[in-house]
Amino acid sequence: MNIEELREWPAEDFQANLLHWYEENKRDLPWRRERDPYKIWVSEIMLQQTKVDTVIPYYERFISLFPSAKALAEAEEETVLKAWEGLGYYSRARNLHAAVKEVNEVYGGMVPNNKAEISRLRGVGPYTAGAILSIAYNIPAPAVDGNVMRVVTRLLLMYDDISKVTTRKKIEAIIEQIISEQHPSEFNQALMELGALICTPRNPACLICPVQLQCRAREEGVQETLPVKAKKAKPKQKNMLALVVKNKAGQVLIQKRPETGLLANLWQFPNVEADNIEAIVNYMKETAQLEVDVNVTVKQHVKHVFTHLIWEIDVYSGEVGEWGEETDLESSSFKFVDKEDIDWYPFPVSHQKIIDRMVKGEE
DNA sequence: AAGCCGGGGCT
DNA sequence: AGCCCAGGCTT
């Protein structure tokens, strides 16, 4: 199917079937009760690579904490990360925060309503730009996510690899041809809803699909083999050694991660990629100037799987006595905190598991 | 173009 | 255990 053939494709029938189905079957989601572009924006960022059911409680809490672009712009980044804690892909939160500040300063708090300006905001790519323009401003712009690519490749029997950028662009061109000019917001949401509820990755419910008669994959019986997607490399394993250090006051040592890279700006327990205790003892000596007395027993093992990485973490406990006057934790990434204050700091889930066992569980 | 960047839920 | 997901940024 190319763009020329698409001109003869019955797009209006498709729109009618799809929009009617959507009106009858759409889920009642918090952001669907809103037209505030800021709130639509927040929901779209949260929904990147994240399931609706996971997002809902985060969205509710986030909006109550930061009800407007102004409120979010005025918040501390650590507060924003804390609100995002556990949701993953933390650069989304940092980019959203930076972009909202820009909207406040450059656009007077008004989310831009055109492709050029909105696409310039940090964290707003082709999908999110189209989603905000269509859903918040009812502008007929394509919003092509994984759902839409799955639906369209099946509908039009496309064997293009959806992991390629060129395929996404091709599908955007197709959507521009078939989108409802009268109801672009509902059209885009309906396509995604169809992908989420009917045209699922496995076992699609073709028998109750509102557009089954227009689906070429269904016609050929190959709906389960689409879309084509290149396989990703297996995640690489890293053996880590983490340390829960207490001082004489019973405070716990935590460390802020670097401002770029994996889990940027989140907090953690000091750790090294190694498999022997000497490595972490030396690390503490060199980076924090702390002489730590480490208990040789492994207190906990944490396995955490990322998209491209697997952490196998052996967790040890340790204590420090007095430390020299030259030790200046104030200006380093390290910090001793009271146990009851640790909840104020954003931690990745892997280290929340350590908090639960080693700090809250109190061995 | 390819790699980096989380976490949870499904089969 | 492998797959999926309302993607975008960096190199």
pLDDT tens, chain A, 363 aa long: 677 888 899 999 999 999 999 999 999 999 999 999 999 999 999 999 999 999 999 999 999 999 999 999 999 999 999 999 999 999 999 999 999 999 999 999 999 999 999 999 999 999 999 999 999 999 999 999 999 999 999 999 999 999 999 999 999 999 999 999 999 999 999 999 999 999 999 999 999 999 999 999 999 999 999 999 988 888 889 999 999 999 999 999 999 999 999 999 999 999 999 989 999 999 999 999 999 999 999 999 999 999 889 999 999 999 998 653 445 677 789 999 999 999 999 999 999 999 999 999 865
Q: From the CA of A285 to the C1' of B6: give the distance in Å.
A: 31
pLDDT score, position A46: 96
pLDDT score, position A325: 40
**Segments making up each domain of chain A, as ranges:** 3-225, 236-360
Please give the CATH number for the structural domain made up of A3-225.
1.10.340.30
Residues 6+ apart with CB under 8 A from A262: A306, A309
Q: Catalytic annotation on A8?
A: no
Domain formed by A236-360, architecture: Alpha-Beta Complex (3.90)
pLDDT score, position A328: 66
Q: From the CA of A84 to the C1' of C11: give the distance in Å.
A: 27
Phi, psi of A305, rounded to the nearest 5 degrees? -105, 120
What whole-number distance in Å separates Cα of residue A89 and Cα of residue A50?
10
Catalytic residue among A5, A34, A44, A181: A44
> Which nucleotides on strand B sit less than 7 A from a protein beta carbon?
1, 3-9, 11
Other Cβ atoms closer than 10 A to A168: 20
What whole-number distance in Å separates Cα of residue A42 and Cα of residue A252?
34
Contact, A166 CB vs strand B, < 7 Å? yes
> Which nucleotides on strand C sit less than 7 A from a protein beta carbon?
2-9
What whole-number distance in Å separates Cα of residue A360 and Cα of residue A363?
8
SS3 at position A179: coil
Instruction: Tell me the pTM.
Output: 0.93
Surface-to-core class of residue A72, CB atoms within 10 Å of its CB (0-12 exposed, 13-18 middle, 19+ buried): buried
Q: From the CA of A234 to the C1' of B4: give the distance in Å.
A: 14
Bridge partners, A318 (sequence order): A245, A294
Q: From the CA of A164 to the C1' of C11: give the distance in Å.
A: 17
Q: Are A298 and A316 in contact (CB under 8 A)?
A: yes
Q: Which amino acid residue lies closest to nucleotide C2, measuring CA to C1'?
A: A234
pLDDT score, position A323: 55
